[in-house]
Structure 1
Amino acid sequence: MKCHVDLHVHLGRSATGVPIKIAASKNLTVLNILERCMIKGIDVVGIVDGASPPILEELKKYVEEGILSLIDGGGLRYKDKVTLILGSEIEIAKEGRGSPHLICYFKNLEKISKFSHEISKYVKNINLSSQRCSLKSAEVFEIANRFEGIVIPAHVFTPFKSYYGSTTDRLSYVFKDYYQYIHALELGLSADSDMADQIEELADKTFLSNSDAHSLEKIGREFNVFDIEEANFEEILLALKRQGGRKIAKNYGLNPKLGKYHRTFCLDCGYIATEDPPIKKCLRCGSNNVVLGVKDRIMEIRDYETRHPHFRPDYVYQIPLEFVPNIGKKTIEKLLNHFGNELYALHYASYEELEKVIGPLNASNILKARNGEIEISSGGGGIYGKVTIDK
């Protein structure tokens, strides 16, 4: 079976209003996320703040009340439609030059509860998401592995809080002997497979395109199509390892130009570089006070031109409805009410189907975005890129 999978979604609050991820929307609660996944067309969601004790208690309560059910192969099922994978995003306080993020995923509530108890000895406040941890990456790996967890380096190329972006030139320097057990990594919104496959040490790794959603609307803006037997933790792990015929069949993600950190950005004059990378100073005002772009960083550390391994799936550029010109909240609501989920409207609905619901101009714009008949000005320094469609 083919499942739409987004393994990086944050919680803003618990059901009782306890803050979990300060930078995330208050509407990001467990049940709101699961309901939104059904609207979006996401079959498997990874909630990455699952080690927070208030959330663990909430999840256990939902299981007791029958709102969530336990899955034999790992994970929790909601309304027999969406699978919840339990995860914990950790910020390494000091690793090399930076403080990167990694995500640990676990099979069930028992194992992530034990991880939470152990990792709480090394973080300032286990109740909050992505708290700084006094351990090194390899040490966190050891703890996660003790409870049969999967470790995934998060948004590895972004300028802040990432491995390649701000910490090291090579993941293998950080994880050392454990690097061979890092089966997959998350690319982030400003990179794609073409860019990542310029680094030799990644040639045997599975790539994930996840949303890193900090609001309900952003769920599924990047996702993966998993080819698995069942929607559960064990099958997800097999797909990441590419074992038993399980695999990631496609990555869906933003065109990297739309990402907030694609190109180098000048903090003094606001210029986003358009020149050939790598650009390490502003070519408009001459300032060295810049945020290095993801494309520029990869060009700086790459080993060769793009070389895709034989197993690498297609990376399909997805322009979320919110990026399409003239498509506002009311138009999106019409599409969701008619088609049942956003992914169908975005990728599969015909012009005729769309035109009946939202008119010829909007239908045409969605088709042009789907087919790449657009112009994109690159993002940088925390500013998203912009889509332009000729009339």
Structure 2
Amino acid sequence: MNLFKADLHIHTVLSPCGSLDMSPKVIVKTALQKGLDIIAITDHNSTRQCLGVTQAAAHSNLKVFLGVEVTTKEEIHCLAYFENFELLNCFQDYIDQYLPDYKNNADKFGYQVVVDADENIIYEESRLLITGLDQNINQIELKVRELNGIFIPAHINKPKYSLIGQLGFIPNDLRVDAYEVSNHITKEVMRSQNIFLKDKSILQNSDAHIPELIGKSYNILKMEKPTFKEFKMALHNINGREIVG
């Protein structure tokens, strides 16, 4: 088994709240400088920047997981990860179907652009990406399952845009692969406060929107190799794979 340092919640220039400095090249360069082995791209309600970052990392030792931070109808932020671009694109089609057609105001919310590995703007998203999909958390979780993805409610201890913040509790019938907590609390304290976290893996990530925060929080994954399948096993403590830090 090997240990991999992983920051699995990173925004790019595509997220309206993401810095314009968060281009694929900058993200990859910064991640490598911070000693990360794995990153995941998780823009708000869009997967369209994953390709550019993957291409930017192609000639390095950095592994890029394909993800998204999707907002539910209840305004709960959830992380979803997919094994390949075919499945990722299927989830993007799902997002496009249920994302409300509210136009983005770049002066108010920020630009929403896709940048390729050579720093060229190739697409601008006109719909505001920080709104909730017209799908509740159970419907989104089910769709992620249909695509053999990984489903993780994000920063559940935050007062807003989180499972506990929006609902006031953790539903015991919600099928999750793990929970993410922000770096304002330790995993041990969070686990002690809620019995539903007792047997679940807990992640802490940077939720970086600017380069300086990439790798500020990270996970140590015990796996044979840095792949989606190994990550999924680590979340469920299968065959010696686990989250060890």
Do both proteins adopt the same fold according to a TM-score greater than 0.5, normalized to the shorter chain?
Answer: yes
How do 1:240-319 residues align onto structure 2 when only pairs under 5 Å count? 240-250=235-245
1:44 alignment partner, one of 7, 24, 38: 38
Partner Cα distance (2:150, 2:202) in 1: 14
Counterpart residue number, 1:169:
169
Kept in 1: contact 2:82–2:148 (CA 8 A): yes
- Residues 51 and 233 of structure 1: is their aligned pair in 2 closer, same or farther, counting only changes over 3 Å? farther
Counterpart residue number, 1:231:
226
Q: Which runs of 5 or more residues in structure 2 are unaligned?
A: 102-111, 113-124
Q: CA deviation at 1:129?
A: 4.4
Deviates more, 1:41-50 or 1:125-134: 125-134
Partner Cα distance (2:45, 2:59) in 1: 23
Partner Cα distance (1:187, 1:28) in 2: 23
Counterpart residue number, 1:159:
159
- Residues 27 and 113 of structure 1: is their aligned pair in 2 closer, same or farther, counting only changes over 3 Å? same
SS of structure 2 residue aligned to 1:133:
coil
- Residues 193 and 53 of structure 1: is their aligned pair in 2 closer, same or farther, counting only changes over 3 Å? closer
Q: Normalization by structure 2: what TM-score?
A: 0.83
Counterpart residue number, 1:35:
29
Partner Cα distance (2:91, 2:218) in 1: 26
1:22 paired to 2:23: no
Counterpart residue number, 2:71:
91
Q: CA deviation at 1:238?
A: 0.7
SS of structure 2 residue aligned to 1:171:
coil
SS of structure 2 residue aligned to 1:188:
coil
1:192 paired to 2:186: yes
- 1:150 maps to a residue whose letter is I
Kept in 2: contact 1:89–1:129 (CA 8 A): no
Q: Which has the higher contact order (CA 8 A, sep 6+)?
A: 2
- Residues 188 and 10 of structure 1: is their aligned pair in 2 closer, same or farther, counting only changes over 3 Å? same
Q: CA deviation at 1:107?
A: 0.5
Counterpart residue number, 1:213:
208
- 2:21 maps to a residue whose letter is N
- Residues 56 and 81 of structure 1: is their aligned pair in 2 closer, same or farther, counting only changes over 3 Å? closer
CA RMSD of aligned residues (A): 2.1
Kept in 2: contact 1:91–1:102 (CA 8 A): yes
Q: Which runs of 5 or more residues in structure 1 are unaligned?
A: 13-19, 69-77, 251-391
Which structure has the highest helix share of the two? 1
1:122 paired to 2:98: yes
Kept in 2: contact 1:49–1:130 (CA 8 A): no
Counterpart residue number, 2:106:
none
Q: Provide, for residues 153-211 of structure 1, a one-character-per-residue CA deviation record: whole Å limited to 9, x for no partner.
A: 00001011011123222232xxx3xx3x3121101121212321221111110010100
Partner Cα distance (1:120, 1:47) in 2: 18
Partner Cα distance (1:246, 1:119) in 2: 31
Partner Cα distance (1:116, 1:45) in 2: 20
Counterpart residue number, 1:136:
136
Kept in 1: contact 2:69–2:79 (CA 8 A): yes
Kept in 1: contact 2:53–2:64 (CA 8 A): no
Once the two structures are aligned, what percentage of the paired residues are identical?
Answer: 26
Partner Cα distance (1:50, 1:123) in 2: 11
1:108 alignment partner, one of 72, 84, 88: 84
- Residues 162 and 51 of structure 1: is their aligned pair in 2 closer, same or farther, counting only changes over 3 Å? closer
- 2:229 maps to a residue whose letter is E
The count of residues paired between Structure 1 and Structure 2 equals 219
- Residues 5 and 117 of structure 1: is their aligned pair in 2 closer, same or farther, counting only changes over 3 Å? same
Kept in 1: contact 2:46–2:95 (CA 8 A): no
Q: CA deviation at 1:143?
A: 1.0
Partner Cα distance (1:206, 1:56) in 2: 25
Q: CA deviation at 1:57?
A: 6.1
Counterpart residue number, 2:146:
146
Counterpart residue number, 1:285:
none
Larger radius of gyration: 1
- 2:38 maps to a residue whose letter is V
2:197 alignment partner, one of 179, 198, 202: 202
